[in-house]
Structure 1
Amino acid sequence: MARPGRSRLAIALGSLLLLAGILLIIQGGALLSVDRPVRARSRDVDDTQPVRPVAPVAGAQRLEPARKVAQDLIAPPRLDPAEIERAEPRPPLSELGLAVPPKTPMPRDWREVLLYRPVVTSSAMFEAMGRKVFISGVRGIDLDSSCSFHDVTWPCGVRARAVFNSWLRGRALHCFVPPDVERFAVAAPCRLGKQDVGAWLVSNGWATALPSGIYGKAEATARDAEMGMFGPAQ
């Protein structure tokens, strides 16, 4: 009779242990589940505690609150086409805003060459390397010409040639000339370094500007300043 009682007790105890194990497994699975959100602990905040102000961050930009703009305020006003009147363009603020006159196109077969050891023959003409070149855009002074200033006459033609020759000092000139096979007297633009030879002659009063040239203002300046042939004897 003792053995059946012990067996039943062992079975009951085993069942309890099995049930306890199942409950532990279920509870552990619930705690380790990744699908179930974990709630953070809530703490009671005392409203009477003072809130510390946050210090501003150095270099941070202050953001202005956004504001609403009515659409009718930013829309362009309605205009009647009949009330629109075309106004004349305003004059330029200075001569710097004016368009530069176009340069005279040179023949395609002409090239810029360096003419060495130029010899001045008049106030706007020289010879170099077998070529006779007239400075284009200007009118030179003849050698036998005389100028008068305050009733005093002086040989400005000879003086103009001497000044031009002294300015060149035998230095080479860059000129646009035709090919070597056509070595006849030509009117060509020349420069000494970066200096326009025609502009130098006219602005210093040793030549006059042609009506179709680009040195009209330079001649007016030379006349006002009484430069070269427009001034006293030199």
Structure 2
Amino acid sequence: MAPVLGGLGLLAGMLLIAESARWLPPEPLSSTPAQNDGEMTPAPQGPIHDARPSQPARRIAEDLIAPPPLDPSGTQRIEPRPPLGELGLAQWPKTPMPQDWRETLLFRPVATSSAVFEAMGRTVAISGTVDIDPGRTCSFDNSAWPCGQRARAAFNAWLRGRALKCLLPPDVDRFAIAAPCVLGKQDVGAWLVSNGWAMAAPTGIYGKAEAVARDARMGIFGPPQ
């Protein structure tokens, strides 16, 4: 009887081991070389190639993403547009000037009105502009304000005592003269007219600049400042 019980116990143990093996996770593949009878098996070298057949890249909405074909015969080259205004164009007037006129630096200028200044004993009016008298008053929405004084103050604040370069004849010490001037690379007349602190002369080059100032209500064309 005892041998039979021993045989049954052995059979039950084997069944228990087999059942447990079903629930064990599979062993991960090892990237380290395996041992075989004490010898190292070299790991495979080189890239791993995909054995699946390659497929061409799928094209997605080419008619929506790709740019349409362009026919060069349908294009036309046009001239570049002109500048929006004379502001920033530091150029002398196109009218010929006398040969003895020279570019002269005038230091510590002081504005006596909106487009006239004194410096180094000379009185210079900015050519191409119409000066605003210091005693002039302007009206905006039925409100009067001293636009002439404000225009002179704006000119002085912009000058800040810096030197102006003007195209002058050799001797203008005893009388005033109208001349083009620049401050650095800035045309003085263009700055005054485009900001509304002077008006453009009828035969000058600043007509467009005055139109811009009027539309934008700048300077004397706008509210009290």
Q: TM-score, normalised by structure 1?
A: 0.57
Aligned runs of 1:32-111 on 2, under 5 Å? 95-96=81-82, 103-111=94-102
- Corresponding position of 2:139: 148
C-alpha displacement at 1:180, in angstroms? 3.0
CA displacement 1:115-150 (0-9 Å, x = unmatched): 001111000000001100000000010011001111
- Corresponding position of 1:162: 153
1:219 to 196, 207, 210: 210
Unaligned 5+ segments in structure 1 are: 1-91
- Corresponding position of 2:166: 175
Contact 2:122–2:172 (8 Å) recurs in 1: no
CA RMSD of aligned residues (A): 2.1
- Corresponding position of 2:219: 228
Unaligned 5+ segments in structure 2 are: 1-77, 84-90
Contact 2:92–2:180 (8 Å) recurs in 1: no
Aligned runs of 1:117-136 on 2, under 5 Å? 117-136=108-127
* Inter-CA distance 101–158: structure 2 relative to 1 (3 Å threshold): closer
Q: Structure 1: how far apart are the matches of 2:131 and 2:172?
A: 27
Q: Structure 2: how far apart are the matches of 1:106 and 1:201?
A: 22
Aligned runs of 1:182-193 on 2, under 5 Å? 183-193=174-184
* Inter-CA distance 172–147: structure 2 relative to 1 (3 Å threshold): same
1:195 to 170, 186, 192: 186
- Report the count of equivalent residues: 141
Point out which structure has higher relative CO (alpha carbons under 8 A, 6+ apart): 2
C-alpha displacement at 1:104, in angstroms? 1.4
Contact 2:114–2:133 (8 Å) recurs in 1: yes
Q: Structure 2: how far apart are the matches of 1:181 and 1:228?
A: 31
- Corresponding position of 2:200: 209
C-alpha displacement at 1:184, in angstroms? 1.7
Q: TM-score, normalised by structure 2?
A: 0.59
* Inter-CA distance 197–101: structure 2 relative to 1 (3 Å threshold): closer
SS at match of 1:122: coil
SS at match of 2:190: helix
Q: Structure 2: how far apart are the matches of 1:148 and 1:119?
A: 27
Aligned AA (1:211): P
* Structure number with bigger Rg: 1
Contact 2:121–2:173 (8 Å) recurs in 1: no
* Inter-CA distance 106–183: structure 2 relative to 1 (3 Å threshold): farther
C-alpha displacement at 1:93, in angstroms? 5.3
Q: Structure 2: how far apart are the matches of 1:125 and 1:166?
A: 14
CA displacement 1:175-218 (0-9 Å, x = unmatched): 01111366421000000000000000000000000111100000
